[in-house]
Chains A and B, each alone.
Chain A
Amino acid sequence: MDKMSRVTTGLSSNAVSGRTMFCHLDAPANAISVCRDATQVVVAGRNIFKIYTLEEEQFVEKLNLRVGRKPSLNFSCADVMWHQGDENLLATAATNGAVVTWNLGKPSRNKQDQLFTEHKRTVNKVCFHPTETYMLLSGSQDGFMKCFDLRKKESVSTFSGQSESVRDVQFSMKDFTFAASFENGNVQLWDIRRPDRYERMFTAHTGPVFCCDWHPDDRGWLATGGRDKMVKVWDMTTNRAKEIYCVQTIASVARVKWRPEKKFHLATCSMMVDHNIYVWDVRRPFIPFATFEEHKDVTTGIVWRNQHDPYCLLSGSKDSTLYQHMFKDATRPVDKANPEGLCFGLQGDLAFAAKESLISSDTNRKPFPGGDRRYPIFFFKKSDPTEQFAHVSSALSVFETNLDCNRMDSFVKTAQLYLLSGKPFAELCDHNAKVARELRRPQVSTTWTMLRIMFSDPANLTTSGLNHSLSKLGSLPLMNSFSMKEIGLGTESRLERSKGESRQDNIHLEPGNSYISNNNEENEETEGSEGQAEYMFGDAELDDDDLYSMEHDNQTEEQEYTLPQEAFQLRHEIMDNPSAPEHLQQDKSDSPHVSGSEAEVTCLTPIESFSLISISQPLYCPDLPASFFCPIVREMLSYYAEKGDVQMAVSVLIVLGDRIRKEIDDLTQEHWYTSYIDLLQRFKLWNVSNEVIKLSTCSAITCLNQTSTTLHINCSNCKRPMSNKGWICDRCHQCASVCAVCHHVVKGLFVWCQGCSHGGHLEHMMNWLKSSPHCPAGCGHLCEYT
């Protein structure tokens, strides 16, 4: 006898009726079956055929039926069944097409009783009649079912399905009917006494039907499972088989077994990929009632241990284990499922469903004006509380949108107005800043401006030597050529100093200072009231300079006030003096330290936060490469995204393009893009969303608009699908899409009325419906073009 390892698990402590346990088999199992009194189980597979007794704590191997010197294919079982009346009688279906019966009462080691080799192909299934002792049914790959009388040496009748291979045969509980399921998706009902033709046939699944099972109590119900991943329950009492329940699983269904004593429960296991056993309540097809997750490879056989005990399930698997699952150890997916539901309505209303207890405990919540509607989702009459789905009743609350805080309007507008490409970088930023400002989102607006400054061209000039000389050249003429307004100059020099980059600058500053002081006086004399204010600020600033307090912090504060004024000054200057623009222009493009002024020049309405930028830029930018800002920008984008403004994150990402793309990992980018695109599509901003998809650099995103670009249409004449060109049918050779207005074939955009399905060229239809409300085809339908 083979060595056998027995392991029991300690999942349950001291149960009365057994515990979850398993034992290792020597080989993968194909099928299992229990004897009537539920004390023994037989396991059959290609290389295994054994009987185990079920003891309280463990499986004990009782008998190995694989005997004989040479392994015969008759032992290679596809299916096994223990007779439900005679506990010495077993039947197996062999992969070589043999049907074998075994008599455990035989004294010899070889228990093989009878051998039927009538099938030409693999036998997929054997089934004893539940009450007729000698009746055995088999279903084979060759498309035949055979009924054997065990007292005779040959089959007594053969049933030809006339379709493909038979995958399962099951006797109905009480009468002489049996169901057979086929590889081509059909299920047939036969009367065992009438082998000439089936009583009924219907198509149950697309693709093979791997299994079927009659309901143990309700004789009219048949459950079928197929390769199409569905379990269907059919009511066979009516004239036409009626599908009454359907459960969608995640993999093809290999076995299905009704749960004893529970009218609506059934257990399934799958053929591929998924190793779990599920118990479903067919009325709740979306979530399994219970799951057994012990197996490591696909489960091949499941059987309820006792026909009256719904808590104990046995299973065999390709991973060479035999399990006894106790219901109390099952996983309950419903416990892990989120019991709260949340949904937005069309108008921004929010519906929220949660457990009643949760809602009622919260007294602050205002109920829905129409009354706090409560929907008891599920209710069980049966009393066993541990067995059924938790008694859940939920409360549904609906919250109406407060129109004032409707933030999404600005989202839509922003999405529509933002420019993401097509212009130089700086212009894009300016445009977007303007959009944001107009929508009263100053922070966003500021961010755009800031970005522009950080990443604009001048900032890319990194050679510091060049910077020096340029700044020198740039500033000197400014000071010399015309009497610069004191504050403009003042800041300029101060800025240079704040950079603290070279001695030259500092030296250079001294005369600047003197000029400034001079100019201050001049200014006082020459300028009008406007100058007054400037003077005030300028003065303060000069004080600072005089005091040599050059801490950056200090200056920052200072400039919040001064710089806007400066901007005015400079602009004013430009208009005054025709020679100035040249210098400024030059400065703008060449000298980084003036680019700050540029910002102010272009910005017409300086707002408060604006000054922040003007400082930060000249303070840090000139000798810093744009990449210096990348970490900050990255943080900023993450901040926006975290805050929920993924729009900003994505827009900036697109506008900045290569400047920032490498800084952010692809997954995050993809995540942002998908969120934004999802949002856009919810608001039906298809154009914008497509633009975003197009402009994105993530491969996962760009491929979005390359999928499902096929539109399947049927010919309007013969109603058959058109495979080739959209406008001529292969089969009836008619032009399918003819314009109702001009009667020519439409090869491009075809627009049609959804009411009467007439249509034609987009342009023609538009024109027509402008002048007439009726369908151009003359069908009398009142078409509407929106």
Chain B
Amino acid sequence: MEVQDQESLGRWDGLCSRDISSRTEAMENICEEVMRKVEAIGPMPALDPSSPASGSLPGSDLNDILAHLLMLSRRCPFEDVRRQCVRLLQGIQDLGVRIPRPLGNGPSRFIPEKEILHISKVDTRTRSIFEDAFAALGRLDNISLVMGFHPQYLESFLRTQHYLLQMDGPLALHYRHYIGIMAAARHQCSYLVNLHVNDFLQVGGDPKWLNGLNEAPQKLQQLGELNKILAHRPWLLTKEHIEGLLKAEEHSWSLAELIHAVVLLTHYHSLASFTFGCGITPEIHCDGGHTFRPPSLSQYCVCDIANGNGHLNHHDDWLGNQVMDGSDMSGEVEVLMERMKHLQECRDDEEASQEEMATRFEREKTESMLVVTAEDEECVPSRDISRHFEDPSYGYKDFSRRGEHVPTFRAQDYSWEDHGYSLVNRLYPDVGQMLDEKFQMAYNLTYNTMATHKDVDTSMLRRAIWNYIHCMFGIRYDDYDYGEINQLLDRSFKIYIKTMVCSPEKTTKRMYESFWRQFQHSEKVHVNLLLMEARMQAELLYALRAITRYMT
């Protein structure tokens, strides 16, 4: 079986080439092989077209290939490959073989397929980025397609991700993917888990590890705790956690490895947020992406990987009764712009008192919690917080609940630019630079438009979103008036942000649709990018601060 995997790996490789002739050659080989397989199984496919268990049939190998072909026919940035794949699939169908159909509509459940840039109609720059991504991974994932709205960012994102996963680094390749799986599983993000399970196996990872974290090496198991805390309550991270990882005798981590792991964990936590926030659909060739298998979670229980046994409490979809007051949304954009303008002008004359400023942060923090937690309370009436500390399957708990115990993180005292960057770059060269570029790219990205309006300075809005997310993680900027958040972010938007950042698995299409109704999808994706990067930075700051404290 493994030999076959290897073989099939090589089979698709040729298609990633930028050289058209070698692509053609690779395509011909594939055609031949597929035809041979089709002839070999002859009458098989007609047998049982509806069986979902076809994975165990001898035809499964062929099915995988067909699924891959289907993916290529839709997602390959090279036009010739797409065309030939379509032709080949048709040819097979004509032979009476059942061919797969993609499930779902396009890369995202939330965004209509026609809104997303079609692979054949992108500008040269985006195409070049897509081709790069395709050449590096042999696929173009749905995340990249959705991010394709913002090619500048996508380039930076892919470069960083590629470096983290494939280039020189302290951790072995399969470790990297496994850490990615761990992080994504924390949020039950089956999309990312599936993707990286494949990658993990491809780079020679031990399939046994996938049965659960307790099958993985001790060293990775120890990372579970860090993963858990970082994902849900990063403010609880202390230098003792770091010390525990670094001083575990033969299972101990080196500082460089730890930094790598931390960057990976935070990357995948926030990517999980993006995945849910944009409703990314399963890859066509993965489970659930086409009709060969039922559209369910993967065969691997994601929870097992996250923490061995636990399950998060699935609350009812509380959003049902949480939907907007339904007030007129028609002038939403205009109102928002008006407020921004007002804030801009008023800042100088209307001087809020210092005490007022100080309390605004607390209020915003508390209110941000109330947005969601009212319903939370109902679901779990008797909450014993201390029990949750020990429960390995704990989820996000509001920062402000224990605000008394956990001091506010002052952004001025430990910032990414001054402190975090230096630490990361010291221990994992170049990555600090890449992350720095990525953060700046996300933070500064603007087209000076809002919905249909042009030439708008959106910096205030972007800053509000960024700081609101950091506020949820207890990070305070002294020089920010948190009253602005209340003015600029309405309730439905706050709900979306809060859900996406804190428990992304609960994001629903309704939530996505109910905020900023007049804005375009690309702008909503932009918001998602902001959320993702802000979350990643918040987590990183806590982790790096703990490491710094350990080092001093």
Contact = CB atoms under 8 A, between A and B. Distances in A.
Nearest to A745: B19
B479 interface: yes
A46 B426 contact: no
Chain B interface mostly helix, strand, loop or mixed?
A: helix
Interface stretch (A92-100, A231-239, A538-546, A641-649): A92-100
B167 interface: yes
A73 interface: yes
B422 A251 contact: yes
A567 B128 CA distance: 75
B168 A707 contact: yes
B412 A95 contact: yes
Interface centre among A71, A94, A141, A273 (most CB of B within 10 A): A273
Interface residues of A, number: 44
A494 to B, nearest CB: 50
Nearest to A165: B417
A273 B423 contact: yes
Given A46-B410, A72-B358, A122 B478 contact: yes
Contacts of B479: 95-97, 119-122, 141
Interface in A698-727: 707-708, 710, 723-725
Which secondary structure dominates chain A's binding surface? loop
Contact of A95 (B418, B423, B478): B478
A579 B359 CA distance: 105
A122 B412 CA distance: 8
Contacts of B410: 46, 95
A46 B357 contact: no
B108 interface: no
B423 A724 contact: no
A207 B440 CA distance: 12
A272 B548 contact: yes
B478 A273 contact: no
Given A73-B354, A271-B419, A273-B426, A725 B478 contact: no
Contacts, number: 93
B135 interface: yes
B19 A728 contact: yes
Contacts of A70: 354-355, 358
Contacts of A251: 422, 426
Contacts of B313: none
Contact of B417 (A74, A120, A183): A183
B273 interface: no
Given A46-B412, A95-B412, A725-B18, A273 B357 contact: no
A70 B354 CA distance: 9
B413 interface: yes
Interface residues of B, number: 32
B132 interface: yes
A227 interface: yes
Contacts of A73: 354, 357-358, 478
A273 B422 contact: yes
Contacts of A728: 18-19
Contacts of B132: 723-724, 730
Interface in A46-92: 46, 70-74, 76, 78
A297 interface: yes
Contacts of A96: 354, 357, 478-479
Contacts of B351: 117
A725 B412 contact: no
Interface string B165-205: 00110000000000000000000000000000000000000
A593 interface: no
Interface in A761-781: none
Contacts of A707: 168
Interface of A: 28, 46, 70-74, 76, 78, 94-97, 117-122, 141, 183, 207-208, 210, 227, 251-252, 271-273, 275, 296-298, 707-708, 710, 723-725, 728, 730-731, 745
Given A76-B478, A272-B548, 17 more contacts: A70-B358, A72-B354, A73-B358, A95-B478, A97-B479, A121-B479, A122-B477, A122-B479, A183-B417, A227-B421, A271-B418, A271-B422, A273-B423, A728-B19, A730-B18, A730-B131, A745-B19
11 contacts: A70-B358, A72-B358, A74-B354, A122-B478, A208-B417, A271-B418, A273-B548, A724-B131, A724-B132, A725-B19, A730-B18
